[in-house]
């Protein structure tokens, strides 16, 4: 008799599972994504999914935090720059690169996706994203206020208005990225916005 050889089960890749689940959540929202759809996409049984993530809600929360926290990192790294013009440039261009990462490594920007209209009992998505935006905005505003205090920007610069302008551009880039605008077009927009903003950031004459 010929001995039967069993196929080796596919190794569980947690990062890939979170990415694949994120794509479904981003398109359909939390409520619109069934456990059956998740298990079919991830190639897991229901029991395996629960063993890995606790629940559908646990998987959703991990997906949101995994891909949202990157934007906090972008702001933190940008505001650490010595020149405030570089701060603005990095926030806009680094975010575009994040929005448009290859689909095999990133699900797209969640900020303007279906996930924003949904939540779970463990994670209020809207509140979480609002906190993220507020944290980023406060970090940027504090950096601009420091630049004003250090004389890097003119004393009549309105930190709140400038911060709001940069945030508006950021949100516009995010929305356009979900409309399948190319990275090149988004970067061109980000660079033009950066140039126009910097024209208003003339340092005072010594």
At residue 40, the pLDDT reads: 94
Mean pLDDT of all residues in 60-79: 91
In angstroms, rounded to a whole number, what is the distance separating the alpha carbons of residues 202 and 104? 42
Model pTM score: 0.79
pLDDT at 111 over 80: no
Question: What's the DSSP call for residue 163?
Answer: H
At residue 9, the pLDDT reads: 44
User: Hey, which of 33-37, 118-122, 184-188 has the most confident mean pLDDT?
Assistant: 184-188
In angstroms, rounded to a whole number, what is the distance separating the alpha carbons of residues 57 and 73? 24
In angstroms, rounded to a whole number, what is the distance separating the alpha carbons of residues 29 and 52? 21
In angstroms, rounded to a whole number, what is the distance separating the alpha carbons of residues 155 and 86? 19
In the chain, domain spans: 67-199
Q: Over the stretch 132-183, which tens digit does the pLDDT of each residue have?
A: 899 999 999 999 999 999 999 999 999 999 999 999 999 999 889 888 899 9
Q: How far is CA 194 from CA 59, 142, 153, 199, in A?
A: 37, 19, 15, 9
Mean pLDDT (the chain, rounded): 86
At residue 112, the pLDDT reads: 60
- Select the CATH number that applies to the domain covering 67-199 from these four: 3.40.50.2300, 3.40.50.1970, 3.40.47.10, 1.10.357.10: 1.10.357.10
pLDDT at 101 over 50: yes
């Amino acid at each position: 008799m010929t001995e039967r050889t069993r196929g080796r089960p596919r190794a569980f890749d947690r990062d890939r599972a979170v990415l694949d689940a994120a794509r479904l959540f981003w398109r359909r929202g939390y409520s619109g994504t069934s456990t059956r759809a998740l298990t079919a996409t991830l190639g897991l049984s229901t029991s395996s999914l629960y063993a890995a993530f606790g629940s559908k809600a646990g998987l959703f929360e991990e997906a949101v935090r995994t891909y949202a926290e990157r934007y906090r990192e972008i702001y933190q790294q940008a505001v650490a720059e010595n020149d405030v013009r570089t701060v603005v440039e990095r926030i806009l261009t680094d975010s575009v690169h994040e929005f448009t990462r290859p689909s095999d490594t990133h699900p797209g920007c969640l900020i303007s996706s279906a996930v924003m209209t949904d939540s779970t009992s463990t994670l209020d998505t809207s509140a979480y994203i609002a906190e993220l935006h507020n944290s980023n905005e406060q970090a940027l505003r504090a950096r601009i206020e420091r630049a004003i205090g250090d004389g890097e920007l003119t004393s009549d610069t309105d930190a709140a208005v400038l911060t709001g302008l940069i945030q508006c551009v950021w949100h516009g880039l995010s929305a356009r990225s979900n409309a399948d605008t190319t990275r090149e077009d988004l970067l061109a927009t980000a660079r033009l916005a950066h140039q126009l903003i910097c024209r208003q950031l003339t340092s005072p004459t010594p």
